[in-house]
Amino acid sequence: MADTRKIVLEVLRYTPGQSTAPTLQQYPIEFTDDMSVLQGLQQVKDFVDGSLTFRWSCRMAICGSCGMMIDGAPKLACRAFLRDFLPGPLRVEPLEHFPIERDLVVDISDFVDKLGRITPWIEPREPRSLEQGEYLQTPAQLERFESFSHCINCMLCYAACPQYGLDSRFLGPAATALLHRYNSDSRDGAQAKRMELVNSEEGVWACTAVGYCSEVCPKAVDPANAVNQNKTASAVSWFARFLPGRG
C-alpha cells in the first residue's frame, strides 16, 4: 500500500450468551489517508477477525446504519477518517444508550417503536379528489420543515442525549424532529393528534436544552430546535384552553 500509516483500533467486543461483560480488543491496522473508520473495521473483518460484527451499507453518510461511538463521541464510521485520530489507539464502541446486540451492533427497537408512534406520514388537511389535482406548497412553506426531513435515522442524537440516557421513555431528538417535520407541513392536518404526544410525560418537556444532539447530527437536522419549538407549541396549546370557546 502506498503511503500507509499505523493505528491501533480498540474495539468493544460483546457476544450475549458467551461473554459475561464487554471487553476491548486491540487490532493494529495499516491505513491510507483516504480511509474511514468503517474501512478500518472492514479491513479487520476481512483479513484479521471475521467474527467482528458491525452495521453498514451505503459508505457515504446516507443510510444511517454505521453510527457508533468513535473516540467517545457519536459519529458515522463512514464519515470519520482514521487520519484524524492519530496517534491512537482509537476507541470504537457501540452507540451509547442502546442495548448491545453484538459487538458494535445495538438493538434499535426502541427508536423504531418511537418512529411509529409519531404518525410519520401526511394526513391531508382537506380531502381532495384526483380531479382537484395535487396539494400545492410555496417555497416558503417548504422552507419551514425541509431541513427536518433530512434525517437519516442514524440515532447519533440519541447517543448524544443525556436525558434519553437517564430515561429512555423520552421521545427524543430525531423522533421529535420528524414529528415536527409533519406538524409544520402546510398540507398536514394531524397536528392535534401529534400534540398529544408532544405534551405527554415522554414529550418535549423532558428536554433540558443540552443541545449536543444538534452538534453531533451529520445532516444538520437540528433536532434540538424541533424539540424546543415544540415546547413553545405545547405551552401555547396549554394556555389556549383558557380562551373562551375552547375545550
Partner 1 sequence: MDGWWRRDPFFIRYMAREATAPFVAAYAIVLLVGIVSLARGADAYEEWLEALASTGWIVAHAILVAIFAYHTYTWFQIMPKTMPPVVVRGRRLAPEVITFAGIAAAVLASLALWILVAYGAP
Which CB sits closer to ligand FES, 76 or 197?
76
Backbone phi and psi for residue 105, each to the nearest 5 degrees, phi listed first: -95, 125
Give the whole-angstrom CA distance, residue 214 versus residue 235. 22
Give the whole-angstrom CA distance, residue 17 versus residue 85. 33
Give the whole-angstrom CA distance, residue 124 versus residue 9. 50
Which range binds ligand FES by CB under 6 A, 50-58, 85-93, 98-106, 173-181? 50-58
Q: Which of 69, 156, 197, 207 forms a contact with ligand SF4 (CB under 6 A)?
A: 156
Contacts with ligand FES, 55-84, as mask; x by CB under 6 A: -xxxx-xxxxxx---------x-x------
76 binds, among ligand FES, partner 1, ligand SF4, none (CB under 5 to 8 A by kind): ligand FES
Which CB sits closer to partner 1, 45 or 231?
231
Are 106 and 57 contacting, i.e. CB atoms less than 8 angstroms apart?
A: no
Q: Which of 43, 119, 141, 153 forms a contact with ligand SF4 (CB under 6 A)?
A: 153
Give the whole-angstrom CA distance, residue 218 versus residue 143. 19
Minimum distance between the CB of residue 36 and ligand FES, rounded to whole angstroms?
8
Residue 12 CA: distances (Å) to CA of 53, 92, 103, 112: 10, 6, 6, 24
Q: What angle do CA 149, 154, 160 make, to 5 degrees?
A: 105
228 binds ligand SF4, rule: CB under 6 A: no
Total binding residues toward partner 1, as defined by CB under 8 A: 24
Q: Which of 75, 180, 223, 225 forms a contact with ligand SF4 (CB under 6 A)?
A: 223
- Could you tell me whether strands 90-93 and 5-13 are parallel, antiparallel, or unpaired per DSSP bridges? parallel
Backbone phi and psi for residue 196, each to the nearest 5 degrees, phi listed first: -60, -40
190 binds ligand FES, rule: CB under 6 A: no
Give the whole-angstrom CA distance, residue 31 versus residue 43. 9
Which CB sits closer to partner 1, 55 or 194?
194
Q: Which of 101, 105, 211, 234 forms a contact with partner 1 (CB under 8 A)?
A: 211
Contacts with partner 1, 159-198, as mask; x by CB under 8 A: ---x--xx--------------------------------
Beta-bridge partner residues of 23: 13
Binding positions for ligand FES, rule: CB under 6 A: 56-59, 61-66, 76, 78
